[in-house]
Structure 1
């Protein structure tokens, strides 16, 4: 799929929306120096083109009681039939896993896991992760401090974007 061409106004709209998803069209138009109707037309076009995939709220993990965050590397036994499909299906059912990636390197998967505390994480690992079909080994990396976290897209780096 080819990257879409964005002009400077599109980039400003996307940058504001990634930080303030609930901003009103009137406030957005004012921030990017457009009329409300022109802003809304551009916004709808970005949605129709699939540039804006969805809107969502960012929740505070600590306020909700998630004190432990981990990145878990998972290695699999390749000799089992359908090992990838079976593991992928299991991962989708685990609410603790907020991100799951097939990766290159020494392991097959990288999981991003949230848990309320160490016992919750330990229970998850021992009762579900280790018992998943084909799991050979796991290596946990517990997050001690977050230096940077942004789930947005760096709009200024989009190929063809005219900032």
Structure 2
């Protein structure tokens, strides 16, 4: 069965894409814990972390670091958090988010009432920070597309 994330990657459902390459995409979540909260997702439907091939996991981790560096620059966050849970969608994904404190690590603090314009603005902030850091070749041409 096709996962929710595959449907987003395939353009069947909307997404706010900040990164795309042959192995993975990154898009901001609709329920951010902090502004800029981004999901790093392999294009392949890998159910969870322990089933990921080593090369894919290494790629996702490097990409999470790159996204985190952009978030840190954009929001002046003292830390970047990396969370792997995956209970809500059976498709491996890494949560990468700017963090100021332990509350930044709790899904209980996820906001589901953020206006679409604010979600768009946060995604554009991540995209701009990635471009400024020299990663423009991997920033999709439009916010809503996983293609370059």
Q: Name the TM-score, length of structure 1 as normaliser.
A: 0.23
- Whichever structure has more helix as a proportion of its residues is 2
